[in-house]
Amino acid sequence: MGLLNVEGLVAGYSAADEVLKGVDFAVEPGEVVGVIGPNGAGKSTLLKSIAGLLKPGRGEIRLNGEAIGGRAPRDISRMGVAYVPQEQNIFPTMSVRENLEMGGYVDPGGSERKIGLAFERFPVLAEKRRHAARTLSGGERQMLAMAMGLMVEPKLLLLDEPSAGLSPLAAERLFLSIAAVKKDGIAIAMVEQNANEALSIADRAYILVDGRNHRSGPAAALAADPDIRRIFLGG
Ligand SMILES: Nc1ncnc2c1ncn2[C@@H]1O[C@H](COP(=O)(O)OP(=O)(O)O)[C@@H](O)[C@H]1O
Ligand SMILES: [Mg+2]
């Protein structure tokens, strides 16, 4: 049994709307799983469904064997799943430190210790702890968003396109931070447009096309597959 098991997930934005048309997806404890595929394939919809922001129409979402489909986002967060959306994932006018406090709202008592850990993990956030989040660089904002997610001490971190809009250097730094989070034993499911980079740090990956599973397997095997290179990885 995996940490997360999604089976036959059908979900969309209204009752009749099937954006996901029966998706299977799994994450084992401690692994990094990439999710790639064209725009509109349903990658974000998959993460939103797992995080509890969308009610699944059909299918199962299980965390450590327990059905979580349709539970409130706050409950799912308490059960150890942190979700970092692609956009509006920080509070721009609040300081870096206040953002981290917001990230830890489900367990305010443990905040001080966990903010200390976040500052150890991301020294640049410690340096800028009193700065308004809107003054951070793109890469620093994504680090802050990830640090906010980590405030709930998740077993599973869901990242939606963390490197979107970053320079190659900033993206590389961010991927290093993601690899460091994995080293601490936290599983990560990561949607990425930077498919080559995502496959290079992922253990396994899924390719979604039009709301369905297209291919999945070890990331290295997918990255080496000539058809996948041609269609999804730009040759
Ligand atoms: N808030 C929304 N309301 C209605 N339809 C949406 C919404 N968000 C996404 N969709 C639709 O769902 C489909 C999949 O979107 P999404 O999961 O965001 O794709 P991806 O992340 O793979 O680019 C698209 O057709 C998109 O138009
Ligand atoms: Mg998306």
pLDDT digits (tens, 9 = 90+) for 111-126: 889 999 999 999 999 9
Portion of the chain with pLDDT greater than 90, in percent: 89
Q: Which of 7, 4, 5, 10 is nearest to 211 (CA)?
A: 10
Grade residue 1 by pLDDT with cuts at 50, 70 and 90: low
Summarised one tens digit per residue, pLDDT across range 68-92 is 999 999 999 999 999 999 999 999 9
Burial 192-216 (b: 16+ CB within 10 A, else e): bbbbebbbebbbbbbbbbebebbbb
Q: Is 43 in the pocket of ligand 1 (CB under 6 A)?
A: yes
Q: Is 44 in the pocket of ligand 1 (CB under 6 A)?
A: yes
Ligand 1, atom 27: closest residue by C-alpha: 40
Q: Is 210 in the pocket of ligand 1 (CB under 6 A)?
A: no
Relative to the CA of 191, which ligand 1 atom is closest?
A: 21
Summarised one tens digit per residue, pLDDT across range 136-178 is 999 999 999 999 999 999 999 999 999 999 999 999 999 999 9
Give the integer Cα–Cα distance in Å for 76 and 53: 10
Q: Which of 98, 51, 103 is nearest to 72 (CA)?
A: 51
Ligand 1, atom 10: closest residue by C-alpha: 13
CA–centroid distance, residue 160 to ligand 2 (Å):
7
Ligand 1, atom 13: closest residue by C-alpha: 40
CA–centroid distance, residue 23 to ligand 1 (Å):
15
Where along the chain do its domains lie?
30-53+71-232
CA–centroid distance, residue 141 to ligand 1 (Å):
24
Query: pLDDT at residue 47 above 90?
Result: yes
Give the ligand whose atoms come closest to the C-alpha of residue 86: 2
Give the ligand whose atoms come closest to the C-alpha of residue 19: 1
**Neighbouring C-beta atoms of residue 126, cutoff 10 Å:** 15
CATH 3.40.50.300 fits 30-53+71-232, yes or no: yes
CA–centroid distance, residue 13 to ligand 1 (Å):
8
Q: Which of 10, 60, 82, 45 is nearest to 68 (CA)?
A: 60
Give the ligand whose atoms come closest to the C-alpha of residue 48: 1
Give the integer Cα–Cα distance in Å for 58 and 74: 21
- How much is the average pLDDT of 31-56? 96
